[in-house]
Amino acid sequence: MLVTRVLDIRASDITDERLYLGRREFLAAAAAPAAALVAGAAPLRAADGQDAPPPPRKGFVTTGEAVTPWADATGYTNYYEFGMAKADPSRNAASFVPRPWTVTIDGLVSAPRRYDLDDLLAPHPLEERIYRMRCVEGWSMVIPWTGFPLKDLIQRAGPLGSARFVEFTALDDPRRMPGQRVNVLDWPYVEGLRLDEALHPLTILATGMYGRALPNQNGAPLRLVVPWKYGFKSIKAVVRIRLVARQPATSWGKASPREYGFYANVNPGVPHPRWTQAHERRLGESGRRPTLLFNGYGDQVASLYSGLDLKRHY
């Protein structure tokens, strides 16, 4: 398992190109073992056997903790469109073909557009981001994502002054997603962020992980990753990103509003009705570790919530 030195960073570091350049070699070193973990002698092959995308051109690491084994990150998943048990998505999504794929960006933007995925991705350099991921159910992982800041895409679309939230919608296709034939959630899966959360530099759209194309069960071909929030905010198989004026409904919020708030910031001080949030089980480790406020990203995101009662707005 990869163990690297701790390199927690501040928000001010993120945009500082000089700091980033200084870390490039470290990142390359950190990323390579992560990819090697999964692929052994033949790294960087996509799941479908095609060549994986080119290596990320830049990025940064937010934790020196051990990267979760590939088998756990891809075999223990939550993706109700492909079944409710943790092992279901890897089996049931095996034949899913995430192409062709279109993503619509619309709502309160000056340049609404429906993109073919390749056109959407073309202008965005991919970065590696090694993030903690904490599920509301009390388990966690450390995953090396490949992606790009959502902010860059939103800015291309030209947000209007009246936009305050972003609504995300996943694919709705029960023919290809067998879990959608069961009414466990109100399909399609929808999620939302405040606009300032969506524009935060830690928020990315991911197209890969562990140096490979995103596996189907992890949300191919495009998913959101918001590392300071519980995992259910990080919607998989995104087909629509809509800027809106009012707080959008979310799938889990509709299913059980008392259990799943809109904010869903990782917070050890606010227990879920069914699970303590004080500690977590890190996949690949024994025992439990304490859960960190904002999943350890407080120095970068806490200012988004100054004045907000985190116990009430959970």
260 binds ligand MTE (CB under 6 A): no
Q: Does 229 bind ligand MTE (CB under 6 A)?
A: no
96 binds ligand MTE (CB under 6 A): no
Out of 193, 237, 239, 283, the residue judged to bind ligand MTE by CB under 6 A: 237
Candidates 30, 31, 81, 200: give the one binding ligand MTE (CB under 6 A): 81
Q: How far is the CB of 185 from ligand MTE (least distance, A)?
A: 7
Question: By CB under 6 A, which span of 3-11, 14-22, 104-112, 235-243 interacts with ligand MTE?
Answer: 235-243
Under rule CB under 6 A, residue 265 binds ligand MTE: no
Q: Under rule CB under 6 A, how many of the chain's residues touch ligand MTE?
A: 16
Chain position whose Cβ is nearest to ligand MTE: 231
β-pairing, 190-194 with 223-225?
Answer: unpaired
Residue 145 interacting with ligand MTE (CB under 6 A) = no
Q: Closest approach of Cβ 81 to ligand MTE, in Å?
A: 5
Question: Which of 180, 218, 277, 300 touches ligand MTE (CB under 6 A)?
Answer: 218
127-134 vs 58-61, strand pairing mode: parallel
Closest CB 227 distance from ligand MTE, rounded Å: 12
Q: Which stretch binds ligand MTE (CB under 6 A): 29-37, 74-82, 199-207, 292-300?
A: 74-82
Sign, CA dihedral 59-306-135-200, equals: negative
- 3-state SS, the chain, equals CCCCCCCCCCHHHHCCHHHHHHHHHHHHHHHHHHHHHHHCCCCCECCCCCECCCCCCEEEECCCCCCCCHHHHHHCCCCHHHCCCCCHHHHHCCCCCCCCCEEEEEECECCCEEEEHHHHHCCCCCEEEEEEEECCCCEEEEEEEEEEEHHHHHHHHCECCCCCEEEEEECCCCCCCHHHHCCCCCCCCEEEEEHHHHCCCCCEEEEEECCEECCHHHCCCCEEECCCECHHHCCCCEEEEEEECCCCCCHHHHHCCCCCCCCCECCCCCCCCCCCCCEEEECCCCCCEECCHHHHCHHHHHHHHCCCCCCCCC
Q: Is 232 in the site for ligand MTE (CB under 6 A)?
A: yes
Give the x-and-dash track for 159-178 against ligand MTE (CB under 6 A): -----------x--------
Instruction: Find the shortest distance in angstroms from Cβ 303 to ligand MTE.
Output: 26
Q: Which is nearer to ligand MTE, 96 or 232 (CB)?
A: 232
From 109-117, 227-235, 254-262, 286-294, span contacting ligand MTE (CB under 6 A):
227-235
List interacting residues with ligand MTE (CB under 6 A): 77-81, 133, 135, 170, 189, 218, 231-232, 234-237
